[in-house]
Homo-oligomer: A and B are copies of this chain.
Amino acid sequence: MPFPVSNPNFATDVRESFAKQAVMISIGAQMTRVEAGMVEIALPYRHGLTQQHGYLHAGIVTTIADSACGYAAYTLMPPQSEVVSVEFKVNLLRPAKANSFVAVAEVLKSGRTLTVVRADVFGFAEHGERELVATMLGTMMCLRRAEL
């Protein structure tokens, strides 16, 4: 495991925090994988999440990528901390037209205060072929609970 873990309960803490993100329930996203430095979030296609051409809106692509990045960073943070997004950049590589989407986030560099994370968002067609629809490079920040 490349990253040192300081919170032995990180998986439980990540899932509990994710369960409090009301927007994830609203859009139908689920956390499908939690490992040290890595998180996946899946989202089925739904017409109510689309832009004018019927593709998943870039902001919704960003929503799952940002949560995946934040929680990937959070897996490496100490107990009693919180994670917030500082900034992210997203390149939209292909139209987000697919039956379902998965955002896969991996930590690039974990620091005491800041963690840099990369996420790829893949679309899956009906028969399972996947293609990369977007990529995010972002910075996440660790706050002690008292600072929030």
Contact = CB atoms under 8 A, between A and B. Distances in A.
A42 interface: no
B92 A57 contact: no
Q: Is the interface of A mostly helix, strand, loop or mixed?
A: mixed
Given A51-B21, A52-B18, A63-B62, A109 B87 contact: no
A11 interface: no
A118 B93 CA distance: 13
A116 to B, nearest CB: 5
Interface of A: 17-18, 20-23, 25-26, 47-53, 57-60, 62-67, 82, 84-95, 108-109, 113-114, 116, 118, 132, 135, 137, 139, 141, 148
A114 B93 CA distance: 10
Nearest to A95: B84
A27 to B, nearest CB: 8
